[in-house]
Structure 1
């Protein structure tokens, strides 16, 4: 059992050795959450939830019914459900999903994830590419990793940019879904203006 205290709220978590970071809340996860500001209207996806810390933590600040937690592991999902009940966070939805493959909801304002470090990049690739599509406009994705360059390049490719914070030996990435705006340079604008002027003179 892990006990976590924050803002005078005590959270408790059952764990076992089949899930990530079973003896203490992961430092990388806490580093990521230190950069997240929750607002009451948020809709949150805890992606790769493990025993449910991130989603239940989010439930302190927003309505639990606005939180979805997902994982591919049956052990993780069972523990997450037990911990939801243990912390009186009824309303949080738990979904078995390989990445975002089975996530039917969309319009998330926050997607929070701590992808596996020691595998190939197929998992974070799924998170980033499909997560972008599931975010509301202006929605944000936070990822925490031990690696930098691949995530930086991938997030820039998909989102157009990313912020990177170095905290406690981890990289915390923040990428925001923004409206695409076509940039027109001055030369083109002047050219179009002259064409329109010539058309008016002909009339």
Structure 2
């Protein structure tokens, strides 16, 4: 009962499955497993974020809470001259993301198992993407936001997706507190999901 998609080592028996999907005109063959987020297919929130996220082709990108990799792998296709780092606390998810990159011939990526930003403390990024782990609690989600600010380069952006009923208004308020009210934009509304973009224009 304590086995969540944000567990470090999922205890549920492995039950891998493979499916094909098209995300942002990118055809992917993805492997998922028990004990990871949205194992039966890419969730609607992630799809919404993927459809709306925008960044330069040479961007240095971080996908935090990557799961088996759909957001980060599409980001790597959108930034062919850039690089995407995919991190997750769940070791099974990170291994799946690595396998999915290999299966789809995506090479401008790297991976790490990481409790929030622990594995990238010395790194900085132009773009941070996240479908945050709502079930892990508001405190964890707000750390995703606040520590993203610390990891972003000047002018860098945090893109997140969050459901209205799961705290989108409070998430926006927290982002405005961290980044500044004028630097947070609602990029899209999609079936109860909100896509927010927060730009780093001030120093910590």
TM-score, normalising length from structure 2?
0.81
Q: Contact conserved, 1:58 with 1:67, CA < 8 A, in 2?
A: yes
Q: Does 2:178 align with 1:158?
A: yes
Aligned to 2:10: none
Q: Does 2:164 align with 1:141?
A: no
1:176 & 1:37 partners in 2: Cα distance?
A: 13
Deviations 1:63-85 (A, max 9, x none): 37611000000110111111111
Deviation for aligned residue 1:11: 0.9
Aligned to 2:111: 94
Deviations 1:129-173 (A, max 9, x none): 111011111111011112222211110110002212321211211
Distance change (3 Å), C-alpha of 1:42 and 1:65: closer
Deviation for aligned residue 1:92: 1.0
9, 12, 23: which one pairs with 2:40? 23
Aligned to 2:195: 172
Range 99-108 or range 132-141, more displaced? 99-108
| RMSD (Å) for aligned C-alpha atoms | 1.8
Deviation for aligned residue 1:2: 2.2
Listed as ranges, the gaps of 5+ residues in structure 1 are: 181-203
SS in 2 for 1:102: helix
Q: Contact conserved, 1:28 with 1:168, CA < 8 A, in 2?
A: no
Aligned to 2:84: 67
Q: Does 2:51 align with 1:34?
A: yes
Deviations 1:10-29 (A, max 9, x none): 21110012111111111101
Deviation for aligned residue 1:117: 2.1
Deviations 1:69-113 (A, max 9, x none): 000001101111111110111241101111112213533111000
1:157 & 1:113 partners in 2: Cα distance?
A: 18
Q: Which entry has the higher C-alpha Rg, 1 or 2?
A: 1
Aligned to 2:15: none
2:31 & 2:68 partners in 1: Cα distance?
A: 7
1:7 & 1:155 partners in 2: Cα distance?
A: 26
SS in 1 for 2:77: coil
Q: What is the number of residues matched between the two proteins?
A: 180
Higher strand share: 2
